[in-house]
Amino acid sequence: VDGLGILTGALIMFFFVRMGLRKPDPYVSLEQAIKRKEFVPYYQPILDIQSGRLAGCEVLVRWRKPDGTILSPGHFIDVAEASGLALPMTALLMEQVAEDLSESYAKHPNLKVAINLFNKHFEDLAIVREVEQVFGNSGVRFEQLVLEVTERLPLENLDRARAIIARLQELGIRVALDDAGTGHGGFAYLQKLGMDIIKIDKLFVDTITAETETVPIIDSLSQMAKGMDMVVVAEGVETDEQLDYLRRSGIDEAQGFLFSPALPASAYLQLVGALGGK
């Protein structure tokens, strides 16, 4: 064994000992933040771009720290997922969503609310019981709920995911393929998993300019979705040119800064009060 080998060995030992001695800081503070309910739902409006009416919203988590700072998921969502906090964080969010929207959504049965799930949720039927428990006796009906599964990361077990999705759909809940076009799933996912909604990623919407004649990926996703009787939503719409193109391509719904960023509950509820449902 040479000097370098000993040094490397010592370094590796050092890191193992450190890891064993204490949990990493981000984990501890995220866990505390869940206990203190510092993760709150923000709501980004989704518009029916053919009729111009409000279709509902997508829930986007924000970390509201005690000092008033608001953090976006980019700062913590990966750590939360890696440290096993995905499920408790989502449970906390769902409870707050039920609380925020119950009164208003009972009056507007056509409005929907989409919640982002983690891939981990599609490994265990527990999510079905949890959704039933949280929304079963709330003013938000299962028919108003959309659960999003991202295509960005692969699902562990497609058969199990399929079974969980089927159970959710039996309740009347719809399931959306998020970030469509970016990842692992593609056409196979859509066919195998039986999705109700497809969300075209901002990446593709971004490519639309005033000069754009066709965006093959948007057109093919949208055509295929229509063939399978799915609703198509475009995300990250920022310009009138993009909206025009999407409308002409027969896309049903859109969300983006052109209409509104994610809003705190009070602001979203004001919007619902003013616009009502479609």
Query: In Å, how far are 185, 201, 218, 255 from 249, measured between CA atoms?
Result: 23, 15, 8, 16
**From the list ligand C2E, Ca ion, none, which binds 246 (C-beta under 5 to 8 Å, kind-based)?**
none
The residues, any chain, with a CB within 8 Å of residue 245's CB and separated by 6 or more, are 208, 212, 215
Residue 93 in the binding site for ligand C2E (CB under 6 A):
yes
Considering only residues 52-91, where is the footprint of ligand C2E by CB under 6 A?
59-61, 72-74, 77
Total residues interacting with ligand C2E, rule: CB under 6 A: 23
Q: Which helix (H) or strand (E) holds 114?
A: strand 112-116
CB 71 within 8 A of CB 62: yes
Residue 45 in the binding site for ligand C2E (CB under 6 A):
no
Q: Which of 178, 196, 252, 253 binds ligand C2E (CB under 6 A)?
A: 178
Q: Which amino acid is at 259?
A: F
Show the tokens assigned to 7. Answer: 């040094």
CB 117 within 8 A of CB 147: yes
**What character string, x for contact with ligand C2E (CB under 6 A) and - otherwise, covers 209-238?**
--------------------------xxxx
CB 179 within 8 A of CB 205: no
Is 77 or 131 the residue whose CB approaches ligand C2E more closely? 77
We find the least distance from the C-beta atom of residue 262 to ligand C2E, in angstroms, to be 5
CB 221 within 8 A of CB 180: yes
CB 171 within 8 A of CB 202: no
**From the list Ca ion, ligand C2E, none, which binds 96 (C-beta under 5 to 8 Å, kind-based)?**
none
Residue 243 in the binding site for ligand C2E (CB under 6 A):
no
**From the list ligand C2E, Ca ion, none, which binds 254 (C-beta under 5 to 8 Å, kind-based)?**
none
We find the least distance from the C-beta atom of residue 262 to Ca ion, in angstroms, to be 11
Query: Which residues bind to ligand C2E, rule: CB under 6 A?
Result: 44, 59-61, 72-74, 77, 93, 116-118, 150, 178-179, 235-238, 255-257, 262
